Structure formats: C-alpha cells, structure tokens
Structure 1
Amino acid sequence: MKKRVEEKRKIPGVCYAFSDDGVELPVPDVTHWAFLLDPGEEELRRREVAYLEGMRRWERLPSPVRRGLSWFFQRRSLLARAGTGTEGSLLSGMNTYLMKLGPRPLGKGYASALDRKVADELPPFGVRLRLRDQACLVAEALGGLLETGRTGPVLLWNIAGGTGMDSLNALIRIRKERPELLAGRGVRVLLLDSDEAGPRFGSRAAEALRGPGGPLEGMDLEVRRVPYDWTNPSDLRRIRDREGTPWAGSSEGGLFEYGSDEEILSNLEVLGEIAGPGFFLTGSVLRDNEVTRVMGRNSRLAIRCRGVAGFVPLAVRSGWEIRRILDGPTIHSLLLGVAGRGTPV
C-alpha cells in the first residue's frame, strides 16, 4: 500500500477504509443519511431529461472537440477516468465502488468539484440506486432463509463481486432491522472475482464495519476473494466442493450486465445444479431504453442493454425464474430462484 492519504472531514457514523493506493474512502451504508436514496418519479424524470439533453449536445460536437474535452475531463476528474475504461472492458471493482459514493461522501483529498458534479449525474446515480436495491433484495431473501431456522454459518457467493458492497449492505440492513436473525451466527462472503484490488478493499471495509461503533460491530464476518472467471463456470463446482454449499448468490453490476448470453446460461445452469435448499440469486440487468442506449454509444465498456425482456428467456432456458424486480432509471435489480423450488420472500 502507498503512503496513506487520510480523510480529514469524516462524516459522523460512516466507516472508512484504505484503498491499495493508500486513499481513505468512506464505506457506503445505504441506511445512513449520507447514502440514503429515495427519489420520486419527478426527480427521476428530471434527471433523465437533463442527462439526455446533455448527451445530445455532446454528440452534436465534432469528434476532435469531443476527444479534446474527454482528455480534459479525464485529467481533472477521478470519476471521469474511472468510467472511461478501454474498448470492450469491464468497469473494475474499485472504479465501480467510486461510483457508489455520491457527491457528499467524496473526500476533498482525492476528489475535485468536477468529480462531485459527475457523481450526481444519472449513470452514477443509477449505480447508487442499484446498490440500494440489490442490498434490499438480498436482505429480504436472506432474512427469509434465516427465519426458517437453518443452522451453521451463512455462506454468500458474490460473482464478479468486486468490493462486495451489496452483500455487506444486506447484512447491515438485517442487523438493523432484525438483529436476532444474525445473533451468534458466522457469515462468510466469498468474492468470486478475477480482480484482486476490489476484494482486498472489500475485506478492509468489512473489518471497518465490524469494528467499534460500526453497523456490524463484533459480527463473526469473513470477506475474502476466491479466484473465478465466469467464462469457466465449471469452476463453481470445485469452489462448492472446497468452500461448502452457498446459501445465496449475487452479481451486482457483473455477469448479467457484461456477460454474453452463453456465459449467463452456462453459469445459471451450474448454479442450479449445485444450489442447496432455498438458494436464491440476485443480479442486475441494464435496461433497454433511450438512456442506456445513449450510455452504450458513448462508452468503451462492454455493457449489454438486454433489459428484462432479453434476460427472461435466458433464465427460463437455464431452469430459473424471476421472483421479484426492482426498477431503477438505468438498471433492473432481479431476484431469481430455481424453478420449482421455493424462495422465502
């Protein structure tokens, strides 16, 4: 880790952890006022119109001007650099993480006024809503499993898990709303990822959350990376044999947003084979609308705007069904269960 840059203006009640670059970053807690989101239809529509109008002006600019402005923004904005990527790439776990912080929690030691402006635009706002919705789905479904009286440590798999914030925020929600469900119970979160930096930060974030005064204070919690490439789904069986049968799975901003149809099908088929009783899976799918199509045209990232209509046939073919959908302006958050098996929600 590089020389540490401490956050000097910490938000009360928010935990902090250091990145590999030595920067102290806030850990999102979707129940804390600094990260709380509850936009109404009017606000969402206003944000959508503003984004589309801005992008139409951008697309009318000559290509050389756009290239020059892009260079300028990337030089001066951490978030602009984070969202650029290379052709056909995936947004890394740490770059995705920065999108989840929002304008207020971005620290002055590493973020600029331009960063705060970018953080309040529709695409990062949609990512923050995705975190809220994914955490909600995991918390409700996992709470249902815990109510059945299952014993033993809770094992959560997070595919393309990055920093694992959806899993950690689900635990925060359960701890605050139904603390008896997790009392005395160990929890293991496995971040199935080919990247290392995001999971390393996720582990440090978990330690901060379970430290004195944290929302998961004293919890028997382990967060660690397990190397995984979703192009080789047969590895899921080996992970199950080595680590144990997972209670639940999730993939926020991962497999369903970037994976090909064949990759999604093969992963769902293997997960359906190894899933234990009550196993559920949450994931996010990019909407197929004007906003996401504009996003796709102006991004080098390998995003796939398949929408629910494009995803349902993949789920059905692989033996799954959608149990619940939470809609955001750019992203659908889904709860899936194996067809014919119950999910406690």
Structure 2
Amino acid sequence: MSERTDALARDGVLLARAASGFALPVIDVTHPRFAVPDDDASVGALRRAFMENERGHARAPRFLMRWIIASAARKSRFLQAVFNPGATFLDGITTYAMKLGEANLLPPFDGEVDRSFARSPHVTCLRLRMQQTAALIADAAARELSEMPGRPLHLVDIAGGPAMDAVNALIFLARSAPELLGPVRIVVLDPDESGPAFGAAALRELAQPGRSLHGLDVSMQRIAYDWAATAPLDDCVAAATASGAVIVASSEGGLFEYGSDEAIVRNLTSLHAAGRGARAVIGSVTSGDEHRRRMVAESSVKVIPRGLDGFAPLAARAGYAIARSRPAIVSDQVELVAVRSEGE
C-alpha cells in the first residue's frame, strides 16, 4: 500500500474498485477529507479565487494558453478529458475522480499536473456542486417521507454516473433521520456502464458492518438510457408509482447542463407523470454569466450556460417550479417541485 493509501485508511476512508481495476476513495461529504465549506463567507472566497483565476487566463495570449494546456494535458488524465477535441462530455469515472480533492487522489489520477488541477477553484466548484445536490436530495426525501416513514424510496438519477449524489444523500439521511428510511432503490439511467458499476461497488463498501449504510435495505440498478428517448424513464416512474414508492429524481452535472431544451422538457414531463411521479427533482444548471459562457466557448465540453432564468421556463413547461437554489459559481443547484394543475 502507498503512503497516501495508508493515510486514507487511517482516516477511515473506504476504497472501491472501478471496472478498469484501480481503486478510488469513496466520497462521503460528511467526512472532513471530502467536505467543502458551504457558508456564505467560504463561497464568497471561492468566487473571488475563481474570478482571479479567470482573469489570469484572460491576460495570457490565447496561443500561449493553448500551448500550455496542450503541454500539460500530456501529463494529466484530467486535462486530457477536459480538453479532448473529440469529447463533448466528461465520462463518469473521470468526473468522479476530479471531485475527490487533491489529498485523496490515487493512481491513475495522482500525477503532479492532476494534483495541481484538483486544487483549482473550478474543481472545488464541482465538489461543492455534488455536495449541494446530495443535501437537496436528502432534504426532499426527508420531507416526502415524513408523513409515512419507512415507505419505499426510489432515487432516480439521470446521467448519474456513479450516482454519488444519491449515495451521499442516503449518508445524510442515515445520520440525521434513519427512522424515515425503509427500502431504498437507486436507479441510475446512464448510457455508460463503468460509472454505475463503481457506484454499486461503493454502495457495497458503505453497507458493510460498522459503516454508514449498514443495516439499510439499499440497492442500485443501472438502466441503459439515452435522454432523447424516454421510454425507459416512463417505465421506471410507472413501476415506482405502482409500488407506492416516493420518487426523488436528480441529475448532477447531467441533463440540465448538457441536454437540449426539448430533452429537458421531455424528461421532466416523464418524471412528473401528470402529477403522479416525482414530487421533487434536483439538478445542476450551468451558470449563464459572461465568465462561464467564455469558459464553455473555449472548452470542447459543451454544457449549455442557460442559467436559472433560461431554465425556469423549461421546468414550468413540464409542470415544475424552482423551489430553491444553491450557488456554486459554475452552476446553481436547484430543487424543482411538482406544480399540480386544477385537473390533477
């Protein structure tokens, strides 16, 4: 075992194995190694660091920045993924590894350039994004279960990768309100197998005796999914409602950031199911400010910086309204609640 792996073990950090064979720490945002400060002062400081980083990039000649990035990318799996001209989105495992934090990186993501990248304000924003999403999921699930504790809970995660937003929501609930939890099913709708496979391995580690999810009836299922064709989601929602389950859906760094307007409306309509489906949907919405738009324009990763003002009308078309949001500079994490029409 490496010195870093030994340190993680001493701090009680769990490891799970990815399909490729390497082991990665299991993110638990209630653990000091993974928690990101989310108070107003800390978020303000992160915003200032982010803007200073952006100003530094803007001052450098564009040709020089391209050369620097190309040179660094040869030594960094993170930069290879972010600036790969052929990639329009980040794969689930690489995105997950970025959220580990510099001190928790293990091979093959622990090169010097990778560690430097992991320290950047932008990556800290991604870590905060997941933490905020998990907290919103937990709050919504607790609210929905409060009237009928022990009712089955289905956490539907669209483009969820390892679904660590849903897994961490369960960690929150297991710590704060275990009496609410009955059978829990995490359903990951994702075209990729490797991310959900790692999430399932992480869930198994967390369920071992003496660990945070031990004793809970929790399972994870991955369904191959393309958000342009919602039939699998329709079936998933129908099965959950038929079983009497509470449905809380989420998509962190997924549908609301990369999806077209029509795809967002179509998926939210499926989740709404004419008022019978998910009462709450949590997700991240890419910021629409000028700095974020410039970053998107310079990257091959094509999120859509529509901002809350551009997103809210799409949610309304599907029967949802934004109940609250939490900022993480590069995105806003939103909780949507179903709005029932007079005929429902």
Please state how far the C-alpha of 1:90 moved relative to its aligned partner.
1.6
Q: Is the 8 A contact 1:158 1:189 kept in 2?
A: yes
Alpha-carbon distance in 2 for matches of 1:321, 1:243:
22
Alpha-carbon distance in 2 for matches of 1:87, 1:291:
23
Aligned to 1:15: 14
Q: Is the 8 A contact 1:286 1:306 kept in 2?
A: yes
Task: Give the root-mean-square deviation of aligned CA atoms.
Answer: 2.1
Say if 1:84 and 1:215 are closer, same or farther in 2 by CA, change over 3 A: farther
Q: Is the 8 A contact 1:9 1:107 kept in 2?
A: no
Q: Describe the SS at the equivalent of 2:282.
A: strand
Say if 1:277 and 1:78 are closer, same or farther in 2 by CA, change over 3 A: closer
Unpaired runs of at least 5, structure 2: none
Aligned to 2:216: 219
Report the TM-score when normalising by structure 2.
0.89
Alpha-carbon distance in 2 for matches of 1:112, 1:294:
28
Say if 1:290 and 1:257 are closer, same or farther in 2 by CA, change over 3 A: same
Q: Is the 8 A contact 2:227 2:263 kept in 1?
A: yes
Aligned to 1:324: 324
Q: Is the 8 A contact 2:150 2:180 kept in 1?
A: no
Alpha-carbon distance in 2 for matches of 1:242, 1:45:
43
Aligned to 1:26: 25
Report the TM-score when normalising by structure 1.
0.89
Say if 1:226 and 1:278 are closer, same or farther in 2 by CA, change over 3 A: closer
Alpha-carbon distance in 2 for matches of 1:316, 1:289:
22
Q: Is the 8 A contact 2:275 2:340 kept in 1?
A: no
Q: Is the 8 A contact 1:88 1:300 kept in 2?
A: yes
Q: Describe the SS at the equivalent of 2:325.
A: strand
1:84-108 alpha-carbon deviations (Å, 9 max, x no partner): 3444612111121012111111126
Alpha-carbon distance in 2 for matches of 1:278, 1:266:
14
1:73 matched to 2:75? The reply is: no
Q: Is the 8 A contact 1:164 1:191 kept in 2?
A: yes
Say if 1:265 and 1:141 are closer, same or farther in 2 by CA, change over 3 A: same
Q: Is the 8 A contact 2:82 2:300 kept in 1?
A: no
Aligned to 1:43: 45
Q: Is the 8 A contact 1:93 1:197 kept in 2?
A: yes
Q: Is the 8 A contact 2:247 2:279 kept in 1?
A: yes
1:282-301 aligned within 5 A: 282-301=282-301
Alpha-carbon distance in 1 for matches of 2:283, 2:292:
17
Q: Describe the SS at the equivalent of 1:72.
A: helix
Alpha-carbon distance in 2 for matches of 1:327, 1:167:
19
| Higher mean C-alpha displacement, 319-328 vs 107-116 | 107-116
Alpha-carbon distance in 2 for matches of 1:253, 1:177:
26
1:39-79 alpha-carbon deviations (Å, 9 max, x no partner): 52441233123221232134x142xx444433321221122
1:131-165 alpha-carbon deviations (Å, 9 max, x no partner): 11101111111011121115542111101111001
More helix by share: 2
1:185-230 alpha-carbon deviations (Å, 9 max, x no partner): 2211010011111011110011111113321123221112011110
| Higher mean C-alpha displacement, 160-169 vs 229-238 | 229-238
Aligned partner letter, 1:288: G
Alpha-carbon distance in 2 for matches of 1:108, 1:57:
33
Say if 1:170 and 1:275 are closer, same or farther in 2 by CA, change over 3 A: farther
Q: Describe the SS at the equivalent of 1:268.
A: helix
Alpha-carbon distance in 2 for matches of 1:218, 1:168:
15
Aligned partner letter, 1:52: E
Say if 1:72 and 1:214 are closer, same or farther in 2 by CA, change over 3 A: farther
The correspondence for 1:191, drawn from 188, 192, 205, is: 188
1:340 matched to 2:340? The reply is: yes
Unpaired runs of at least 5, structure 1: 1-5
Q: Is the 8 A contact 1:237 1:274 kept in 2?
A: no
Alpha-carbon distance in 1 for matches of 2:44, 2:237:
45
Q: Give the % identical residues.
A: 35
1:294-309 aligned within 5 A: 294-309=294-309
| Higher mean C-alpha displacement, 312-321 vs 236-245 | 236-245
Q: Describe the SS at the equivalent of 2:104.
A: coil
The correspondence for 2:230, drawn from 219, 228, 233, is: 233
The correspondence for 1:209, drawn from 190, 194, 206, is: 206
1:236-271 alpha-carbon deviations (Å, 9 max, x no partner): 222334565561111111100000111111111222
Aligned partner letter, 1:328: A
How many residues are paired up? 331
Alpha-carbon distance in 2 for matches of 1:110, 1:329:
25
Q: Describe the SS at the equivalent of 1:293.
A: helix
Aligned to 2:152: 153
Aligned partner letter, 1:320: Y
